[in-house]
């Protein structure tokens, strides 16, 4: 965890709310003329990303878009600045909570949202989205802005009853020439459970994708249940694309038929059948509610304030006091709520350094509570689906503090909790398990809360009351049982069921660092053995060609073929059978990239003339085919104008590049990430250009593989769910396999054309 700065630009830092893969977020105090001051929220790009143009551009694009929007239902941007070389933006401090946290509070209090309040909030959210959709450039031309990530996380509800849309970090202007290609990333962007069908299929998007997301939000606020929650993200996407959803009236009978019809119209699977604009959704909802129904901000406030109003006021007043005390003392204390997933940490201030941006000291590396969440990094290099790591509201409540005023992300995967889990929390609250403050520990925070309670009693030297000792004993015993059970289950999962029969041999291409690669393949092999009941050997080949050769000659029943190798092999051997396409971080595609070593004077692809260039393998799609295509388009002859060096895999390309073996090299952004995790100083390189879109690797069966074995492995591959199978979002930190999907041969047509040119 980075140390908390005293200041960011001209803003005094009061508290760090969160930090994530791309940025960190602070509550700050801004002092103005004549003693005026106000609270602001500052989002600053992480220092190590400030030198990477794609991240900086994504960050600046958010500021450029949102700063042009002047609407009461969109969080206002005040300033775009730079602090110690890292861009930041300051924005409105929202005196409120995310809709996600409001839903949790309502569920725990057993208070359904009144229909008029739910309609009012959904209508306000639609108004904010419409303001973004209508945004124009300086010449009055529509930008075609699409938020792409509307969910309860990114909708703030104030104590005064106003709903504000925030976090345009992955928004995309669809009508700016050239921007659509430049912002394409190869990973699904946004929270899967709030995607439109066309977004799941990775098709071009327009404002109707946001209308669909708004329809999901409206449904969930009315039902206080998840609409597309399934056992896996793949199943959720299948439900979205197939229109597999429950009837709102079966969940909540008091919702007027006209309101249900408006929500259903927003949720039409075919975008042409959907409400065309967010403004149309707003009007449909308000019309459906009927005249005489109070859908004002005051009606929303009347529902919010009894739930959270006093705590929100206390939190805001606390920030103001902290700002006053800091100025009065020249130092003070600052809270870092981002450390360890929301467990508040306090760092002493000794005043700013000479530069005015001194640090208050590093945060402890370990602490009670939820561990720090690692950035969710997509295979294409897009850091997660949001810019801020979510703070667990359960953790915040257990420690007596409030949810953050800004910043949620997809990293917790469940925007307002599973109702069954909430029922468990309520049951615990009514039973013996209590914390020092008399509240039940929420799911995921039991260990930290128990430790806090026990340590507190020891530190004061006072024994807790008998009832509390009993509660602590019960809690510790339950925790111990849970840990032992988890250990036994993990051991059982590690061993897996007994396997028998002939091994299923799968040849795998050497795409990343081999030692770690073999470890990850061993984990995937265990998963597949559990699903097939057969021994599974995932065998790392020496090079790409060996994979194809072994599949054709039958020494391996199956092979994993990178896209170019797949189309070339299938061209010569049409009897190979495609079984599944690999998914990486939720995406079945990726982008190629050309990187240049820092200090090398190369500004365009044409400048590669006379340079030494690293390729991973001649059959690599992103690392060879697309890179050479980009060179030819820039007027270069790859065989004459550059000197080729073949590194063997994508990780080694980055190793050779940083070691000075080459001036430039080609990989995919996931290869960049894998090299970073292998300890290669990839910060010594920078991106020159994206070279094009490519599907992920194809798993094929050889021509001699039996039909029974083909079907067996295919079923196993398509059922892989890392969260259920290994307890992680992905299998492996280098491969980052998030599952497999049925093959779509049309996705490989562009690669077919590209491989036609040598």
CB atoms within 10 A of CB 338: 30
> Is-contact 94 164, C-beta < 8 A?
yes
Total count of residues recorded for the chain: 758
Nearest alpha-carbon partner for 614 in 593, 585, 591: 593
Nearest alpha-carbon partner for 96 in 299, 311, 312, 300: 312
CA 600, CA 611: separation in Å to the nearest integer?
A: 10
Nearest alpha-carbon partner for 570 in 439, 703, 732: 703
149 is an active site residue: yes
Q: What is the 3-state secondary structure (H, E, C) of 117-141?
A: HHHHHHHHHHHHHHHHHCCECCCCC
Q: Which residues pair with 594 in a beta bridge?
A: 666, 689
CA 691, CA 584: separation in Å to the nearest integer?
A: 19
Nearest alpha-carbon partner for 532 in 301, 721, 719, 723: 719
How far is CA 550 from each of CA 38, 530, 646, rounded to the nearest angstrom? Answer: 67, 25, 22
> Is-contact 122 218, C-beta < 8 A?
yes
> Is-contact 751 625, C-beta < 8 A?
yes
CA 291, CA 11: separation in Å to the nearest integer?
A: 46
CB atoms within 10 A of CB 529: 20
Q: Is 366 exposed, middle or buried (0-12, 13-18, 19+ CB in 10 A)?
A: exposed
First-to-last alpha carbon distance for the chain, in angstroms, is: 48
CA 10, CA 28: separation in Å to the nearest integer?
A: 10
Angle ∠(191,301,216) on CA atoms, nearest 5:
25
One DSSP character per residue, 306-364 reads IIIIHHHHHHHHHHHHHHHHHHHHS-EEEEETTGGGG--EEEEE----TTS--B--PPP
Query: Which residues, 6+ apart, have CB-to-CB distance to 555 below 8 Å?
Result: 505
**Marked catalytic residue, from 6, 83, 149, 385:** 149
Nearest alpha-carbon partner for 674 in 735, 746, 597, 592: 735
CA 137, CA 217: separation in Å to the nearest integer?
A: 29
CA 117, CA 307: separation in Å to the nearest integer?
A: 14
What is the chain's percent helix, strand, coil content, to nearest 5?
45, 20, 40
Main-chain phi, psi angles of 631, to 5 degrees: -65, -45
Angle ∠(486,491,496) on CA atoms, nearest 5:
125
Tokens 């079945």 locate to 588
Tokens 């992103």 locate to 622
CB atoms within 10 A of CB 85: 9
CA 106, CA 113: separation in Å to the nearest integer?
A: 7
> Is-contact 559 507, C-beta < 8 A?
yes
One DSSP character per residue, 137-205 reads -TTS-B--EE----SGGGEEEETTS-EEE---TT-EESSSTTHHHHT--SS--S-GGG--HHHHTT---
Q: Residue 91: enclosing H or E segment and its boundaries?
A: strand 86-92
| Torsion-angle region of 533 (φ positive above 0: left; ψ -120 to 50: alpha; else: beta) | left
CA 256, CA 291: separation in Å to the nearest integer?
A: 13
| DSSP assignment letter at 579 | E
The catalytic residues are 149
């Amino acid at each position: 965890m980075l140390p908390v700065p005293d200041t960011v630009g001209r803003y005094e830092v009061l508290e760090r709310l969160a930090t994530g893969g791309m940025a960190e977020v602070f509550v700050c105090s801004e002092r103005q003329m004549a003693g005026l001051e106000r609270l602001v929220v500052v989002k600053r790009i992480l220092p190590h990303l400030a030198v990477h143009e794609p991240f900086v551009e994504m960050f600046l694009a958010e500021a450029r878009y949102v700063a042009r929007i002047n609407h009461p239902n969109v969080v206002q941007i005040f300033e775009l600045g730079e602090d110690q070389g890292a861009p930041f933006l300051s924005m409105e401090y929202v005196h409120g909570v995310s809709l996600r946290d409001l839903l949790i509070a309502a569920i725990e209090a057993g208070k359904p949202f009144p229909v008029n309040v739910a309609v009012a909030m959904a209508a306000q959210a639609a108004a904010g989205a419409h303001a973004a959709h209508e945004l124009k450039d300086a010449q009055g031309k529509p930008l075609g802005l699409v938020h792409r990530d509307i969910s309860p996380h990114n909708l703030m509800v104030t104590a005064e009853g106003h709903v504000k849309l925030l976090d345009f970090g992955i928004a995309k202007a669809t009508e700016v020439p050239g921007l659509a290609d430049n912002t394409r990333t190869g990973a699904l962007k946004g929270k899967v459970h709030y995607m439109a069908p066309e977004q799941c299929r990775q098709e071009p998007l327009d404002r109707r994708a946001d209308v669909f997301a708004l329809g999901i939000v409206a449904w969930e606020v009315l039902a206080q249940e998840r609409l597309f929650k399934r056992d896996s993200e793949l199943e959720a996407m299948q439900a979205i694309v197939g229109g597999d959803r429950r009837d709102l009236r079966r969940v909540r009978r008091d919702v007027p038929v006209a309101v249900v019809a408006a929500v259903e119209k927003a949720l039409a699977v075919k975008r042409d059948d959907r409400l065309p604009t967010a403004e149309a959704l707003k009007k449909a909802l308000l019309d459906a509610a009927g005249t005489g129904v109070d859908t004002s901000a005051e009606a929303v406030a009347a529902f919010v304030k009894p739930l959270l109003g006093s705590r929100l006021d206390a939190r805001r007043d606390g920030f103001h006091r902290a700002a006053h005390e800091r100025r009065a003392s020249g130092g003070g204390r600052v809270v870092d709520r981002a450390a360890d997933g929301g467990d508040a940490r306090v760092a002493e201030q000794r005043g700013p350094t000479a530069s005015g941006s001194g640090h208050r000291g590093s945060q402890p590396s370990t602490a009670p509570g939820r561990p720090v969440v690692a950035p969710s990094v997509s295979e294409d290099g897009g850091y997660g689906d949001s810019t801020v790591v979510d703070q667990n509201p359960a953790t915040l409540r257990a420690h007596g503090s409030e949810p953050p005023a800004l910043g949620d992300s997809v990293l917790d995967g469940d925007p307002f909790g599973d109702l069954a889990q909430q029922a468990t929390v309520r049951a615990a609250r009514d039973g013996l398990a209590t914390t020092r403050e008399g509240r039940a520990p929420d799911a995921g925070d039991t260990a930290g809360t128990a430790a806090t309670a026990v340590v507190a009693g020891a530190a004061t030297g006072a024994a807790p009351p008998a009832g509390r000792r009993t509660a602590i004993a019960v809690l510790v015993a339950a925790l111990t049982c849970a840990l032992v059970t988890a250990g036994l289950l993990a051991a059982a999962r590690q061993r897996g069921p007994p396997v028998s029969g002939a091994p299923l041999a799968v040849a795998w291409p050497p795409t990343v660092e081999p030692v770690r690669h073999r470890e990850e393949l061993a984990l995937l092999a265990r998963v597949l053995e559990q699903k097939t009941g057969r021994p599974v050997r995932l065998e790392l080949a020496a090079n790409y060609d060996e994979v194809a050769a072994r599949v054709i000659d039958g020494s391996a029943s199956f092979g994993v073929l990178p896209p170019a190798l797949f189309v070339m092999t299938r061209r010569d051997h049409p009897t190979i059978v495609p079984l599944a396409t690999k998914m990486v971080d939720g995406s079945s595609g990726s982008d190629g990239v050309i990187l240049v070593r820092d200090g090398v004077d190369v500004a365009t692809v044409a400048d590669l003339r006379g340079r030494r260039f690293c390729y991973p393998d001649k059959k690599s799609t992103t690392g060879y085919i697309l890179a050479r295509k980009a060179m030819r388009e820039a007027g270069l002859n790859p065989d004459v104008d550059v000197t080729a060096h073949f590194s063997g895999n994508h990780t080694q390309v980055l190793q050779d590049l940083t070691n000075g073996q080459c001036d430039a090299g080609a990989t995919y952004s996931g290869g960049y990430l894998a090299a970073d995790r292998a300890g290669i100083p990839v910060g010594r390189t920078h991106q020159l250009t994206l070279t094009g879109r490519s599907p992920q690797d194809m798993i094929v069966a050889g021509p001699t593989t039996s039909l029974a074995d083909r079907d067996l492995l295919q079923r196993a591959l398509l059922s892989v769910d890392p969260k259920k199978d290994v307890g992680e979002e992905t299998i492996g930190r280098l491969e980052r396999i998030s599952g497999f999907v049925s093959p779509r041969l049309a996705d490989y047509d562009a690669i077919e054309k590209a491989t036609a040119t040598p």
